[in-house]
């Protein structure tokens, strides 16, 4: 078994999206453009309502999956498939946009703390023209593993006997939210060939056997390929562990569209402009 060590530590960049929602972006940046199959990772949230109140008005997507995980606050989702719902703390929205979806995500709160994550996962060419799917997963439907050392919420994948609700996925994703007590360990066997990373929300971690730079809040920690992951909390820490099987296809980006060629991006823009984009 190959031990996993730190490949690179990247500080998330301040950015804004939607109608001016302030966020921290760690994948989809010059330092971490694309970690196959992951296209983007944003941490969004603030205790200042002016940083999030304008939300994400209606906008299109094609060729990707978006996974939104709420830790605090409430957001309302509506889309062109007719799906709608209010996400509360602990809930997950997993949207497979396929050949096209138009959706909005607007705060269902006027003040208070908002905190969440949005992860973009690429889709293979053969699935980019599928009919879109919207999965709303309530927090109580997530897998949860708990002992005296740690608490793990399982959105996708399996930790010991605890499974997440998203199964039989083409990239075999693993998505854990881990709270690890001081000087305790999180050990995990990562599938061979998966790319993986840790996003440290707060605390400080020691990863693998080799010395590496100090980790700090809002750091993306890219991991080497391997199978044996060992994480020790230097102090009580909270982080996401995410891994997936690479797709290995060329990508072309055009804002909210991710396809395999530039011609397909131009086609998506044309479909959106002429009103045939989200017709199923």
pLDDT digits (tens, 9 = 90+) for 179-209: 999 999 999 999 999 999 999 999 999 999 9
Select the CATH number that applies to the domain covering 6-273 from these four: 3.40.50.12780, 2.40.50.140, 3.50.50.60, 2.60.120.10: 2.60.120.10
Digit-coded pLDDT (tens) for 98-124: 999 998 888 887 778 889 999 999 999
| CA 54 to centroid of chain Cα atoms | 21
Read off the pTM. Answer: 0.95
Sheet of strand 114-122, all strands in order from the earlier edge strand to the far edge:
13-17, 21-27, 38-46, 114-122, 64-72, 92-96, 133-137
Residue 133 Cα distances to 46, 102, 188, 220, angstroms: 29, 12, 30, 29
CB atoms within 10 A of CB 48: 12
- Residue 65, pLDDT > 90, answer yes
Residue spans of the domains in the chain: they are: 6-273
Mean confidence (pLDDT) of the chain: 92
């Amino acid at each position: 078994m190959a031990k996993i060590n730190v490949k690179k530590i990247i500080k998330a960049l301040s950015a804004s999206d939607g109608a001016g929602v302030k966020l921290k972006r760690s994948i989809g940046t010059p330092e971490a453009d694309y970690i196959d199959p992951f296209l983007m990772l944003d941490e969004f949230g603030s205790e200042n309502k002016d940083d999030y109140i304008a939300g994400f008005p209606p906008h299109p997507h094609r060729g990707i999956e978006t996974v939104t995980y709420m830790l605090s606050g409430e957001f309302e989702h509506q889309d062109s498939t007719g799906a709608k719902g209010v996400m509360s703390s602990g809930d997950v929205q997993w949207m497979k946009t396929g050949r096209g979806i138009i959706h909005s995500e607007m705060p269902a709160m006027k003040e208070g703390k908002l905190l969440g994550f949005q992860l973009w996962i690429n889709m293979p060419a053969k699935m980019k023209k599928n009919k879109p799917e919207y999965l709303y997963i309530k927090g109580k439907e997530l897998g949860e593993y708990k002992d005296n050392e740690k608490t793990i919420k399982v959105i996708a994948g399996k930790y010991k006997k605890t499974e997440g609700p998203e199964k039989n996925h083409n990239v075999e994703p693993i998505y854990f939210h881990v709270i690890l007590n001081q000087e305790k360990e999180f050990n995990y066997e990562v599938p061979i060939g998966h790319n993986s990373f840790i996003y440290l929300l707060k605390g400080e971690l020691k990863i693998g056997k080799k010395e590496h730079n100090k980790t700090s809040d809002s750091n993306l920690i890219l991991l080497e390929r391997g199978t044996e992951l060992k994480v020790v909390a230097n102090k009580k820490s909270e982080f996401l562990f995410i891994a997936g099987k690479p797709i290995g296809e060329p990508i072309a980006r055009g804002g909210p569209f991710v396809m395999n060629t530039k011609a397909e991006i131009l086609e998506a823009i044309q479909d959106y402009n002429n009103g045939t984009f989200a017709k199923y």
